[in-house]
Amino acid sequence: MSSIGVGLRKEHYPYLRKGEPVRISWFEAITENYMDTQGRPLEMLEFIRKNFPVALHGVSLSILGGSFPDKKYLERWKELIRRIDPFLVSDHLCWTEQSGNYLHDLLPFPFTKEFLNFAIERAVQVQEILGRRILFENVSTYLSFPQNEMTEWEFISELSKKSGCGILLDINNIYVNSINHGFSAVEYLNSIPWENVGQIHLAGHTDTGDFLFDTHSKPVSQEVWELFSSFSDKIQSIPILLEWDEDIPSFTEMEEEALKAKSILESVTT
């Protein structure tokens, strides 16, 4: 059975510090929140790590950015991995900077052979520097490129097969993109090499009326839970994480939302 985790958020530090009951199995920490500090955030992460497995999830690798690789960033990332000993390390399949300017968003790119070769070469390079396998997450997007030569799922599948990296499969992002760009989320999930999927993300989105926006500010939608349930036979042994980054509820409310995944998996095995 999959283990269920939630994101480590500063709003929940007081609750966790008190040693209140925790029913999830592990935490995911945003890499950049802890790699540049020796203060309270890192102290809190080490406190959590004493009692729980931790995954590190980054937002600033910018594997398809123009200034890759940022050697200082990779050195700081490697040091945090040494210090925390996470059971998973991941980042996003996107770009976040150009010419040294950080753009504060997870930006899309064309699904072309040229970008695929970039991504494969760079994923291999990062894994060699870190000395371990990393996972790349499919991101939510709001535009597509006429230059596309393959689908998103073909791109990420080829990347994982040829670079040896794992896939962090965000089912909410797949659903958001399927509505925004008009493809089948079921076809996407049927086409992924599940043997390379190392983690599942779930989150809530906002329906703007014109498109779906990946806000991480709400409970998981019914449509995403239905997709999750449809592929539960493939998810059974994969770590599952609930993300919640805006309008963050109490720890117990967030935990309850995450544990719905466990209930769904248990219901299909009984």
What's the CA gap between 149 and 112, in Å, rounded? 5
Per-residue pLDDT of the chain (270 residues; tens, 9 = 90+): 579 999 999 999 999 999 999 999 999 999 999 998 778 899 999 999 999 999 999 999 999 988 888 899 999 999 999 999 999 999 999 988 877 777 778 889 999 999 999 999 999 999 999 999 999 999 999 999 999 999 999 999 999 999 999 999 999 999 999 999 999 999 999 999 999 999 999 999 999 999 999 999 999 999 999 999 999 999 989 999 999 999 999 999 999 999 999 999 998 766
User: 3-state DSSP helix/strand/coil percent for the chain, to nearest 5?
Assistant: 45, 20, 40
Tell me, what DSSP letter sits at residue 243?
-
pLDDT, the chain, mean: 94
Nearest alpha-carbon partner for 106 in 134, 76, 142, 155 = 142
Q: What does the pLDDT read at residue 40?
A: 86
CA angle, corner 134, sides to 133 and 140, nearest 5? 155
**Structural domain for 235, as ranges:** 4-269
Cβ atoms of 255 and 6 closer than 8 Å: yes
Domain total in the chain: 1
CATH number at residue 45: 3.20.20.150
Q: Where are the alpha helices (DSSP H) in the chain?
A: 13-17, 40-49, 71-84, 113-130, 152-163, 171-181, 185-191, 222-230, 232-235, 251-269
Model-level pTM? Answer: 0.95
Quick check: helix, strand or coil at residue 169? strand
How distant, in Å, are the alpha carbons of 47, 56, 143, 270 from that of 165? 29, 15, 26, 33
Residue 37 CB neighbour total at 10 angstroms: 12
Distance CA 61, CA 131 (A): 16
Which contacts of 96-102 are long-range, i.e. CB under 8 A and separated by 24 or more positions? Answer: 96/59, 96/60, 96/61, 96/62, 96/65, 97/60, 97/62, 97/65, 97/66, 97/67, 98/65, 98/66, 98/67, 99/66, 99/67, 100/67, 102/60
